[in-house]
A and B are shown apart, each in its own frame.
Chain A
Amino acid sequence: MSEHHESHAPEGHDDALEGHIVSPVVYIIIFIALLIGTAATIGASYLDLHEWNPIIAIAIAVTKATLVVLFFMHVKYSPKLTKLTVGAGLFTFLVLIFMTLSDYISRAWGRW
């Protein structure tokens, strides 16, 4: 039933539905980058960097996730609306992290 409607969509530029063809070379490069990231995570876990250990691990994980979202999930080639949707999710996530941290960071400050 939904296909019947597409022709009536006022925003008519359904780039995502037409699909962007990504060459296998790009996929292979990203796959290798992800493998390198995995190796780096394992390698970093053997070093004793104190508080930097989790920071480095999370930094590598975020980089890998970004690659997956941009290339494997085609967000890089998607219309602006899709990018905005992904951005909204990221924004909400940052609100969760930073507003929660506002509690943890300032707990030791005592009373205002």
Chain B
Amino acid sequence: MSSATIVSLPDQSTARIPKTNFITKENGLLSWLLTGDHKRIAILYLISITFFFAIGGSLAGLIRLELLTPQSDLMATDTYNKVFTMHGVIMIFLFLVPSVPATLGNFLIPIMIGAKDLALPKVNLLSWYLYIAGGTLVLYTMMTGGVDTGWTFTTPLSTHYVNTNVLSTGLAIFIAGFSSIFTGLNFIVTIHKMRAPGMTWFRLPLFVWSNYAASILMVLGTPVLAIAIVLVALERTVGIGVFDPTKGGDPLLFQHLFWFYSHPAVYIMILPGMGVISEVISTFSRKRVFGYTAVAFSSVAIAVFGFFVWEHHMFIMGVSNYSTLVFSLLTMLVAVPSAIKIFNWSFTLYKGSITFETPMLYAFGFMGLFTIGGLTGVFLAATGTDIHLTETYFIVAHFHFVMVGGMLMAFLSGIHFWWPKMTGRMYPEKISQLAAVVTFIGFNLTFFPQFILGELGMPRRYASYPEEFQILNVFSTAGATVLGVGYLLPILYLTWSLKYGEIAGSNPWQATGLEWQIQSPPLTENFAEIPIVDHDAYDYEWLEKMELAKKQQEVSSVG
């Protein structure tokens, strides 16, 4: 590991955490539960999603343990169905969708644009309560027998053939969906209306652009999921017949509605992560993001194209051959804006002064793993290969490369990057670098064998498999334990750092964003006075001038 570092911390013997900040402003549980402060709500979200991530992760552990041996021996087959369904529901709706927007986005977007809070603070708090209500219902579902339809609720299985808790899970997702709509709405209004003077659209940090694009998807897409779930509920309870062929309905219509949301949903999950990567890559290579405008617009392009590709989830389900052709072509188009981002980040690195702090290690992990995940998506978009690969472990590997290798890496990168800002204290660098490397190794060991398993034809969603697949499954399960350690470490040392971490000061990374120009942790109102922005994002020369001016002022005032 390079010894070069950009970290600049204040003198630890004299440094203190600012006495007045958003954490110390008020005390008591109620001051948190009734808060309108976007930063406190972000912390509430961070605690809640970590809780659900732990549950979803434990379920993943159970899945991998079951698949250690070819026979279904750890649990009964229908229990296995419930376990992978709950893993999917929790990880998608309660972790990945809110992960970056509701925590880092909530905390940072108002600060990054120079505002004192989000436009609708009470709606922001309501969004967290809805999330908790949805999460509680999911827990209730788990405790009362779970659900075994898969997280996709595919009809007619979900409407006609299972007796598990489809209704309560559907209601949970319906409620959690509104939480996501409110967050998206809040971001859109805030970014449009509350930018500081001089903060033009093309001076916004790319993190704001990508969260804006994701917010559009949340607001426009999530209602369709809500409708699809209500229709499933009505089909189960009163048999309205929309998805029932004997009454003139069509089960595939459900999949059209479901994937119309759930494909854009993967962009809701990944876009904010891409925003994190833009910030981190720029900071740790000390360069403006190459092709800023292209990266900004590629976020919007992903959001728009994302609505035109959903049928690629249904290629083998009996949809028309002609529409398959159209959706296959459209799907391949989405690869273009994603590739624009990867290329631009790579060019940002070119001739940059690169340092290898933990956020950057995670960002490198993201770039590599997301590229593999994205390119294998093109295999699946091609109708010929899709027939062979779909519904196999290839799909599982592809999805986890994008969502875990991509999004979770980006989330961890962002959490480490902004941890000093959120808490005022540094995380321990060496052990966190180790955690990043452990995560990367564990991840590849877990999911790379699954590409091969899928290519060999092992179907997903079965508790047992032919013996010839065991070796690769053992690799995968071994990798999952390494990955588990990789995720446990940050939870432990980040908690430790809350009390024992070094004092970070306002700008430990020497980064340019507005959030780094204020104290850590920030004041409740973020800025003592609203800043006037006169420079572009990632302008390191501006930062240098500012630092110089500050030093001269100190010298003259002491003198």
Chain A interface residues (CB < 8 Å from chain B):
1-2, 4-6, 8-11, 81, 88-89, 92, 95-96, 99-100, 102-107, 109-112
Counting CB contacts under 8 A, is B260 at the interface? yes
In the bound complex, how far is the Cα of B326 from the Cα of A87, in angstroms? 25
Given A88-B220, A110-B321, A103-B117 contact (CB < 8 Å):
no
Counting CB contacts under 8 A, is B105 at the interface? no
B321, A1: Cβ atoms closer than 8 Å: no
A102, B326: Cβ atoms closer than 8 Å: yes
Counting CB contacts under 8 A, is B115 at the interface? yes
- Given A2-B118, A5-B117, A103-B256, 19 more A-B residue pairs with CB atoms under 8 Å apart are A1-B116, A2-B119, A2-B120, A2-B194, A5-B119, A8-B115, A10-B195, A10-B197, A10-B200, A92-B220, A95-B308, A96-B260, A99-B308, A103-B252, A103-B320, A105-B320, A111-B321, A112-B321, A112-B325
Smallest CB–CB gap between B8 and chain A, Å? 31
Using Cβ atoms and an 8 Å threshold, which residues of chain A touch B224? Answer: 96
In the bound complex, how far is the Cα of B253 from the Cα of A100, in angstroms? 8
In the bound complex, how far is the Cα of B321 from the Cα of A2, in angstroms? 52
Counting CB contacts under 8 A, is B157 at the interface? no
Counting CB contacts under 8 A, is B471 at the interface? no
Given A10-B195, A107-B320, A2-B121 contact (CB < 8 Å):
yes
B121, A8: Cβ atoms closer than 8 Å: no
Using Cβ atoms and an 8 Å threshold, which residues of chain A touch B120? Answer: 2
In the bound complex, how far is the Cα of B257 from the Cα of A57, in angstroms? 22
Chain B interface residues (CB < 8 Å from chain A):
36, 115-121, 192-200, 216, 220-221, 224, 250, 252-253, 256-257, 260, 307-308, 310-311, 319-323, 325-326, 525, 530
Using Cβ atoms and an 8 Å threshold, which residues of chain A touch B252? Answer: 103
A109, B192: Cβ atoms closer than 8 Å: no
Using Cβ atoms and an 8 Å threshold, which residues of chain A touch B256? Answer: 96, 100, 103
Give which listed residue, A8, A88, A100, A102, contacts B530 with CB less than 8 A: A8
For this complex, 26 residue pairs linking A to B, each with C-beta atoms less than 8 Å apart, are A1-B116, A5-B115, A5-B119, A5-B194, A8-B194, A8-B530, A9-B193, A9-B194, A10-B197, A10-B198, A11-B193, A81-B192, A92-B220, A92-B221, A92-B307, A96-B256, A99-B311, A100-B253, A100-B260, A102-B320, A104-B320, A106-B322, A106-B323, A107-B320, A109-B320, A112-B322
In the bound complex, how far is the Cα of B216 from the Cα of A1, in angstroms? 24
**How many contacting A-B pairs (Cβ < 8 A)?**
82
Using Cβ atoms and an 8 Å threshold, which residues of chain A touch B311? Answer: 99, 103
Using Cβ atoms and an 8 Å threshold, which residues of chain A touch B525? Answer: 1
Smallest CB–CB gap between A2 and chain B, Å? 5
Smallest CB–CB gap between A89 and chain B, Å? 6
Smallest CB–CB gap between A13 and chain B, Å? 11
Smallest CB–CB gap between B264 and chain A, Å? 9
Given A88-B216, A88-B220, A1-B117 contact (CB < 8 Å):
yes
Using Cβ atoms and an 8 Å threshold, which residues of chain B touch A110? Answer: 321
Measured CB to CB, the nearest residue on chain B to A6 is B193
Using Cβ atoms and an 8 Å threshold, which residues of chain A touch B200? Answer: 10
The 7 closest A-B pairs by CB, nearest first: A106-B322, A106-B320, A107-B320, A103-B323, A92-B220, A102-B323, A100-B256
B116, A103: Cβ atoms closer than 8 Å: no
In the bound complex, how far is the Cα of B115 from the Cα of A55, in angstroms? 49
Smallest CB–CB gap between A98 and chain B, Å? 11
In the bound complex, how far is the Cα of B530 from the Cα of A8, in angstroms? 8
A2, B117: Cβ atoms closer than 8 Å: yes
Using Cβ atoms and an 8 Å threshold, which residues of chain B touch A100? Answer: 253, 256, 260
In the bound complex, how far is the Cα of B331 from the Cα of A89, in angstroms? 22
Using Cβ atoms and an 8 Å threshold, which residues of chain B touch A92? Answer: 220-221, 307
Using Cβ atoms and an 8 Å threshold, which residues of chain A touch B253? Answer: 100
Measured CB to CB, the nearest residue on chain A to B119 is A2
In the bound complex, how far is the Cα of B438 from the Cα of A34, in angstroms? 64
In the bound complex, how far is the Cα of B181 from the Cα of A89, in angstroms? 13
Using Cβ atoms and an 8 Å threshold, which residues of chain B touch A8? Answer: 115, 194, 196-197, 530
Using Cβ atoms and an 8 Å threshold, which residues of chain A touch B307? Answer: 92, 95
Smallest CB–CB gap between A63 and chain B, Å? 22
Using Cβ atoms and an 8 Å threshold, which residues of chain B touch A88? Answer: 216, 220
